[in-house]
Structure 1
Amino acid sequence: MRLLLRFGAALAALGGLGVGGWSYATGWHPPTERYPLQGIDLPENPPPVEWKTLRANGADFAYLVATSGADRRDAAFEANWAALPDAGMRRGAVHLFSLCQDALAQANAFNTFVPRAGDALPAAIDISYHDDCTARPERAELVEDLQHFIQRVETHLAKPVLLRVSKAVDADYQLSGALPRPIWAMGNMLEPDYAARPWRMWRATDFRRIDGVEGPVNWNVVAP
């Protein structure tokens, strides 16, 4: 409760500062002294990115959406994937998991599209609610489906995956406790504490603005 009150007071203060407060909020990121490794993750159909400019402004890595469900491939993935090493940035692929489609079909779609690369970061599975899918499977069924997905993807990539679980999904399914994989949690400007285990990566803001990409970006830090 005290944390919520402090956050509310901080937001009120930013609102009172007007343009200056908004400028501070959109430029904010966790301190590099505490979190040396920081980077972005892009949504589906992302805007163009000047990767070398982004790297010069402090991005160490980027996660790119590769596939969504069993039937969507992101058109920008391959070009961005190829460009990141030349910019001096690490790269990771993201799959947006659908609660409405077969888990093994999704894994096959991801494995077909995303190459195994020795320099790649662990792939991430995003498990969130989406407007295009209203299915809500039983917890045991979902956990089993995700286990099958994870096993097939890890066999292909030869690396363990990250679980990017939204707060809403974890509240309903407690996936962060059921699946023993590193957690990528989300929380704007406040360290998230909803997962059953400590997070390994934190999406710290989804409204940061930075040279190299148009519009707000998702900014992340890796746990020290």
Structure 2
Amino acid sequence: MSADRLRMVMVGLALGMIGASVGLGATSAATLSDKKPNSGVAAAHDMPVQGIDVSYFQGNIDWKKVSRAGIRFAYIKATEGTDRFDLEFRDNWAGAKKAGVVRGAYHMMYWCSYASEQASWFLQHLPKDADTLPPVLDVEWNGYSKTCPHEISRTSALAKIKVMLDAIEAQTGRRPIIYTDPKFHRDVLAGEFTDYQFWVRSVAAKPRAKYPGRDWSFWQFTTTGRVPGVAGAVDRNTYNGTVADWKRVEKRLQANGGATGAVPASAE
């Protein structure tokens, strides 16, 4: 996406997020010290707007320390399938907001359940706050699952995803973002849902190497990151835009009292 078009998107569209911003100066950048030189992924550490995604696996999080470390956004697991609610969701949701970290919620797709029931479960637990990132649908093969490790057909997977996306948007008025990994994108999503924004996982290369031609808004670049305030490993992410882009969105939302919309994306 060209710089001019990116600016137009940022002016015309908005995320639901809090008005407070978190500084990303040299001191903050220095505290995020798991940078790996000589890797394509190292570029992600130098991108100016950094984030994390978390679930109960991270345990108790000190969100004030996370914020002071320069983390500006967080995606927080809410639900999975039709009956799993993340036990740390409420604490993480409240803690992130109090610390000034922009947050959003995500649902992990379970391939052995009806999509309509999963949508109802997620929406039942999705806070109605107006100051948040768009909801995310996490779609990947669940090979580690004890109850549903198998893969389904591409046609069936696409149908389930569409049911979920449509239901979330109909209920919230916001178009969800799709999270995925390289294998699932290659097996199912390549060429599909081009009018949706993507949050992509790529821990070995820049997104353009794993998702050729795919625009993306967020990049999960490591699953073993270290961030002050989180006791162990944590997924780290970056936003596909500048600090100025991020601040313009925050300012717009602060003025409008919250709005729905999108994050700029690039085919970088």
Range class of TM-score, shorter chain: 0.7 to 0.9
Gaps of 5+ in 2: 1-32, 242-268
Give the total of aligned pairs.
199
Identity among equivalent pairs (%): 28
> Any runs of at least 4 consecutive aligned residues in structure 1 with deviations exceeding 4 A, and if so which?
none
Question: Residues of 1 paired with 2:185 and 2:171: CA distance?
Answer: 26
Pick aligned residue for 1:97 from 97, 106, 109: 109
The 5 A counterparts of 1:53-202 are: 53-130=65-142, 131-132=144-145, 133-173=148-188, 175-179=189-193, 180-188=195-203, 190-193=205-208, 194-195=210-211, 196-202=213-219
Corresponding residue of 2:226? 209
Question: Residues of 2 paired with 1:23 and 1:65: CA distance?
Answer: 23
Question: Residues of 1 paired with 2:86 and 2:206: CA distance?
Answer: 30
Say if 1:185 and 1:201, in contact at 8 Å, map to a contact too.
Answer: yes
Please state if 1:25 is matched with 2:36.
yes
Letter in 1 for 2:44: P
TM-score relative to the length of structure 2: 0.69
Gaps of 5+ in 1: 1-21
TM-score relative to the length of structure 1: 0.82
Letter in 2 for 1:222: Y
Paired residue secondary structure (2:58): coil
Corresponding residue of 2:255? none
More relative contact order in 1 or in 2 (CA 8 Å, sep 6+)? Answer: 2
CA shift, 1:29, in A, is: 7.1
Pick aligned residue for 1:40 from 25, 29, 52: 52
Paired residue secondary structure (1:30): helix
Paired residue secondary structure (2:44): coil
1:179-212 Cα offsets, whole Å, 9 max, x none, are: 2311111112521233351211101111121211
1:6-40 Cα offsets, whole Å, 9 max, x none, are: xxxxxxxxxxxxxxxx96539x67344xx322110
Corresponding residue of 1:12? none
